[in-house]
Amino acid sequence: MDFLYLLEGLAIGFLLATPVGPIGVLCVRRTLMYGRRQGFIVGLSGASADIVYALIAAFGVTFISNFIQEWQLWMRLGGGVLLLVLGFQIFRSNPLAEATAVRLKLPRRTFVTTFLLALTNPMSMFGFGAVFSSTRIVQTTTGRISLFMLVTGVFFGSLLWFSLLTSATYVYKKKLANGGLAMVNKIAGVLFILFGAVNVWSCASR
């Protein structure tokens, strides 16, 4: 029975990770620019952030949930500003020079920065909460082990999506010349700026 919760979590994690967002764009860019390993690290950090919010939604951690609800506006605003800054940096960066610098950075730095960026999107928690409520998975679950299996499935489902995204992107990596990498930088930078602008605008209009 617990195995079924693992499968349900796997499906939920995969489906909620598929919409294109900042982490997905960053995963594609890192894979194209620096290789599969960097892309996988980005995906791993995104899946780790998903499991944090899935835990809160599944176990109903009231204190943390209330804190996030109270501060979600500022979290989104901070995340929006961070996306704007990253967007301008990416847009103006030199792919070849940056690739050399990135090889010198520790993988955990990439993981931590991406993880924190993913956590600035509290809507992930509400997304998991909405899915858990609509499917009544959490309400019908009686044991903590089943909930842990559900959340574990969410993590691996999200990680599966990012792994597929990284692998699919890596196939096209060798087909890109330096000019193509520069174009990837420009597109990724513009997307980050758009994501950031939407976040800031949604906060300012409330």
Q: How far apart are CA 198 and CA 19, in angstroms?
A: 16
pLDDT (tens digit per residue) in 151-184: 899 999 999 999 999 998 888 776 665 556 677 7
192 and 22 Cβ atoms separated by less than 8 Å: yes
Residue 4 tokens read as 């079924």
Question: 17-53 pLDDT, tens per residue?
Answer: 887 788 888 898 888 888 888 899 999 999 999 888 8
Higher pLDDT, 204 or 15: 15
Cα of first residue to Cα of last residue in the chain, in angstroms, is: 44
Q: What angle do CA 175, 165, 8 make, to 5 degrees?
A: 165
Contact 87, 200 (CB under 8 A): no
pLDDT at 155: 94
pTM of the model: 0.77
pLDDT tens digits, one per residue of 48-98:
998 888 888 777 655 556 666 677 777 778 878 888 888 887 787 766 555
Query: What span, in angstroms and rounded, lies between the C-alpha atoms of 104 and 101?
Result: 5
Q: At what angle do helices 107-119 and 62-92 cross, to 10 degrees?
A: 120
Q: Kindly report, residue by residue over 111-134, the tens digit of the pLDDT.
A: 998 898 888 876 676 677 677 666
CA 134 from centroid of its chain's CA atoms: 23
